[in-house]
Amino acid sequence: MYVQEVADLGVEVERGPGDTTVRLAGDLDKVTAPLLRQRLAELIAEGLVHLAIDAHHLDFCDSSGLWALVEHQRAVAGRGGSLRLFGVHGVLRRVLDVTGLTAVFDEVLPVEKAARSVAQL
């Protein structure tokens, strides 16, 4: 497990047998989006193209953060991979709904549905 924190964003990476889970905590914005871009680019360079972004503890996301997610969705899709978002709530959920960008990702699970999916395991 790898944990890195810059400004107000914590990024924790957990490699699994299927998806690689990237847990975000704090604010994903203009200041912190470069950290996320760097970590996702490193994972993709390692050949890890099935990514699950855990947004349960993400407090805020602006357009810079959203764009970082969209960019890497395209990058993994181009390599036959997937990028799923789960635990989506608050500002991120609202922005995805309003912009229609929910459809860009392989899967977007709000907090309520993510909790049910985990409970079924």
| Res. 112 pLDDT band, cuts 50 70 90 | confident
pLDDT at 111: 83
Looking up tokens 């699994």 gives 16
pLDDT digits (tens, 9 = 90+) for 34-67: 999 999 999 999 999 999 999 999 999 999 999 9
Statement: residue 121 has pLDDT above 60: no
Phi then psi for 66, rounded to 5 degrees? Answer: -65, -45
Residues 6+ apart with CB under 8 A from 109: 84, 85, 86, 87, 88, 117
What's the mean pLDDT in 93-99?
A: 92
pLDDT at 18: 85
**pTM here?**
0.86
58/61 Cα distance (integer angstroms) = 7
Statement: residue 6 has pLDDT above 60: no
